Structure 1
Amino acid sequence: MKSFYPFIYLLLFTMLSQWAMAQSIRKNYQEMTDYEKTELVNAFYSIRSTTAGGTDRITDMANFHMDYFNFDNININRLDIHFNLPDEPEKEIFLAWHRRFIFEMEQVMQDINPKLTLPYWDSTTDQSVNSELWDEDFMGSFNTNWNLNRNLSSFGTLPTAQEIVNMSAETDFFEFSDFFERQRPHAGAHRWVFGPMITSASPRDPVFYLHHTFVDKVWHDWEETHHNSVYIRTNMLRYDGTYTFNGVTLPVVNPNDIIDSRALGVFYAENGLAVLDNYIVSNTYNPEELFYYRYTIEAGTNFIAAENTTSHLQSVSEVILKPGFLAESGANFRASIDTETTSLLAKNSLRKVAREKNPFDEVDLEQVWMWSEGDIDPDDPTVVMQTFPNPFDSQITIKLSKKKDCVIEIYNLVGALIKQEFFEFTDTIVINDLYGLASGTYVVKVVDANGKTLVAKKVIKI
């Protein structure tokens, strides 16, 4: 990273409120200032401790993700969020839904601190269990305090940069999205982190948002190259005008309206540069649009601060206004250098909210390894299990992706072992005589000869 004296290429137009709301320059978490990292952690703890009707926003969002995760083999007519490709393209919303979902969390954070944006975790390069991502003063404290029970690198592997390159060469959007969702570029981090991340309750772990911000960046980069994203669906669960949190109805969102991340005022910085282009400030979401970044902000081609709007570009280092940037007459616009949060005094007095223990209930986590679903790269040691029928009555068939000597164990949701059978080197297993089980939800586990659980999945007895 080059070193230079902070400067801006613009006179100050209008003084604005320090705590107006923000839009987004998202960056690799490694590019965040100490102030931003501390405030991000503060925000997660604050959101979790603020309840509305007994439920905080993080729990509410995680519960929704759980409730509408996937209905394959349960009720094929119901809308859901995951695994709709390749067979049900008319129900597909995976990338757009998660884009709006992380934007919802980001907006809640900006109510707390307008400088905050969700950073991304690039899991293709940042793969160590000793990474600063897991430090106790960053994402590490949530593991104990929220009872997440992560088990980093114990299950599955993370993607490589080449896998992203290869995947991004695909020109068909549905082919790209299907591979992305099921394979390591997305599913790998869910499995690798373990704990809630490997279940349908994954939004309980704050690292979910850093991971899905990276997923969103990869989609953004793909769309910038191919300009080919399109959805058959024109509405999305949660964002269909029927869902209310804390007395506020969430907006109606057509997935095709947010194919370009700029539609939400979202830009992605990389390698010390945030390029802001092809965007008109509108204050649609926020009374002030604040674009904040540690390194260089470069506003140029068709970035317009429109008449009667309020916006602010703020960098710790440098703001450059290039040809193509326009501040219209009557726009409240300014560019500035942030010295307040980066001073020695500020660094020595970072505000930390209480890192209180607030464990999630383990039963509610549904010990369901949902991210063992889907097709897996043949080089990945993960074992994939399919079960059918699901719901079942007196018999269930289990199909494994690899032949194994294994023990099949069936548990009820309070952890009691209901049935156990051994099978020699096979990938197709039939469990009979289940008619005596009470109706309800059970967990099927595949255990190897050493007692290690290879894969597990929720099944329903009718």
Structure 2
Amino acid sequence: MNFIAFKRLVLSLLMLMFSQVNAQSIRKDYREMTDYEKTELVNAFYTIRSTTPDRITDMANFHMDFFNYDNIDPDVLDIHFNLPDEPEKEIFLAWHRRFIFEMEQVMQAINPRISIPFWDSSQDQSPSAALWDEDFMGSFNSNWGLGRRLGLYNDLPSPSNVSNLMLETDFFEFSDDFERQTPHSGAHRWVSGAMITSASPRDPVFYLHHAYIDKLWHDWEELHHTSFYLRNDMIRYDGTYVFGGETLPVVDPNDILDSRALGVFYAENELAELDNYIISNTYNDPEYFYYQYTIQAGANFVATPGSSAVIESVNEVVLQPGFLAQSGAELLVTIDDQSSSTLLAKSTSVSDKREVNPFDPVELEQVWLWSEGDVDPDDAVVIIKTFPNPFDSHITIKLDKKRDCVIEIYNMVGALIKQVVFEFTDTLEVKNLYGLAPGTYVIKVVDSHGKTLVVKKVIKM
């Protein structure tokens, strides 16, 4: 259907052009974004970070503060590693779904066409991929002091890792495996720096990675229809958390088992299918669905009386049987006729938005997450003792048995400070540490195959 036909499309709808809109979301692989979308997404991250109060820092700090309390206070609600032992506290997938939606809503207040894209780390695995270009995700590393070390751990998932995960039929087993195995943990470790810590939302790539995690959960739920939670509340989204004078809404995890409950759809292979959704303007008025390629609306996609929405493509919109616009709905279905000058062109005013604003490394709680669950239970390492802790000039780790391994010492921003190789021993002593500045460090023990055996936090006097 050509542009003129779209402009004349009525289908019993009230056609309305909106001067200011907020958007619902068609999320796509970042490789399907226009250059304009990429530029606007990057600019939005920089704008949000430079706004007072800083939402990116707030969200990262919350994730860090409530990451995992299992070994501190088991009665405190937290976000990670509640399965398999604490199913009554489990919120991992639903919490992150609402978390990235929160960031997306803030972005859409800046530009309604913005949606958080996803990074398919099972397919797109090169450190030189377009994801890391300086005019996309690359500039954040130096400007925000993220300490990325792409490929430090060769843990990105294979397509078979993903397909095997999708075969699991029990929701709690699926969620537990998902959280701990490479389809989720791999990207955190592979990117490293802030991403491998509990403060991972400091890195904008976190949101692209978790958009992919959310897509995989959406795909799994479409296959199995068995997601459920024992809880009916989630920390941050329990009606008590206030940011910038606004109390965040109450969210029951069981109310967002389907991404469409938030108006979120996932496009693939140049096709966005809008289905089984009622436009109700619960979050945004009007709702805005934008995609470069084909948007196909049908199969019980309904615009209700009094609702308003825009469906906009750069190329094509197809309305299929099952699409329903009820009397009194306001809906614009259109082709973006400005694509040649704006959507496919890179912004010419970028540098003024991309300020150097590194995070304070003192605030970074270095947890070295994603080590949990990585060790084969049949070959688990037992730390007999780490001493002295706090240490001064040397530190010793006693293991349960002799091994070939490497000790790596990292500072609080994820930089490798020292590395020592050991051959077939259960006593690992690192000497000559006088020169390290006082503070907290992380010691990691890696075997000869590159597998993480031990992660432990230590303090230098």
Question: Structure 1 length normalisation: TM-score?
Answer: 0.85
Tell me the residue number matched to 1:267: 265
**Distance in structure 2 (CA, Å) of the matches to 1:442 and 1:114:** 42
Task: Please state whether the residue corresponding to 2:370 is helix, strand or coil.
Answer: helix
Question: Do structure 1's residue 278 and structure 2's residue 276 form an aligned pair?
Answer: yes
Residue 159 of structure 1 is matched in structure 2 by 157
Pair 1:327 & 2:325 matched: yes
Residue 43 (structure 1) aligned with residue 41 (structure 2) = no
| Match in the other structure for 2:337 | 339
Q: Distance in 1 between matches of 2:205 and 2:129?
A: 13
* Separation in structure 2 between the aligned mates of residue 87 and residue 402 of structure 1, nearest angstrom: 31
Partner of 2:404: 404
Deviation at residue 356 of structure 1 after TM alignment: 0.9
Verify the 8 A CA contact 2:26 2:115 in the aligned structure 1: yes
Give ranges in structure 2 of 5+ residues lacking alignment: 391-395, 431-438
Give 2:368's aligned amino acid.
Answer: W
Match of 2:288, SS state, is strand
Q: Aligned pair in 2 of structure 1 residues 143, 410: CA closer, same or farther (>3 Å)?
A: closer
Match of 2:90 in 1: 92
- State the 1:161 CA deviation: 1.1
Shift of 1:406: 4.8
RMSD of the alignment, in Å?
3.6
Match in the other structure for 1:425: 424
Report if the CA contact (8 A) 2:292-2:313 is conserved.
Answer: yes
**How many angstroms does 1:397 deviate by?**
8.5
CA contact (8 A) 2:402 2:424 kept: no
User: 1:412/1:171 Cα in 2 relative to 1: closer, same or farther (>3 Å)?
Assistant: closer
Contact 1:370 1:457 in 2 (8 A): no
1:404 aligns to what SS in structure 2? strand
Residue 341 of structure 1, CA deviation = 4.0
CA contact (8 A) 2:403 2:426 kept: yes
CA distance 1:443–1:154, change in 2 (3 Å): closer
Structure 1 residue 366: Cα displacement? 2.9
Does structure 2 retain, via aligned residues, the 8 Å contact 1:409–1:447? no
Q: How many Å separate the matches in 2 of 1:357 and 1:172?
A: 46
Is the aligned partner of 1:73 residue 2:71?
yes
Note closer, same or farther for the CA distance 1:453–1:5 as it changes in structure 2 (3 Å cut): same
What does residue 34 of structure 1 align with?
35
- For the structure 1 residues 285 and 373, does the alpha-carbon distance in structure 2 shift closer, same or farther, using more than 3 Å as the test? same
Q: How many residues are paired up? A: 438
The equivalent of 2:26 in structure 1 is: 25
Percent of aligned pairs with the same residue?
63
SS of equivalent to 1:372: coil
Q: Provide the rounded CA distance (Å) in 2 between the counterparts of 1:131 and 1:410.
A: 27
Question: Using the alignment, how far apart are the partners of 1:354 and 1:245 within structure 2?
Answer: 23
Shift of 1:354: 2.2
- CA 1:249–1:192 in structure 2 vs 1: closer, same or farther (change >3 Å)? same
3-state SS in 1 of match to 2:355: coil
Name the residue aligned to 2:215: 217
SS at match of 1:367: coil
SS of the aligned residue for 1:18 comes to coil
1:434-449 equivalences in 2 (<5 Å):
443-446=442-445
SS in 1 for 2:311: strand
Matched, 1:15 2:16: yes
The superposition leaves residues 179-234 of structure 1 with CA deviations (integer Å, 9 ceiling, x where unpaired) of 11001000000000011000001000000000000000000000001000011111
SS, match of residue 103 in structure 2:
helix
Residue 370 of structure 1, CA deviation:
1.4
Shift of 1:355: 1.2
TM-score when scaled to structure 2? 0.85
1:183–1:376 contact (8 Å) kept in structure 2: no
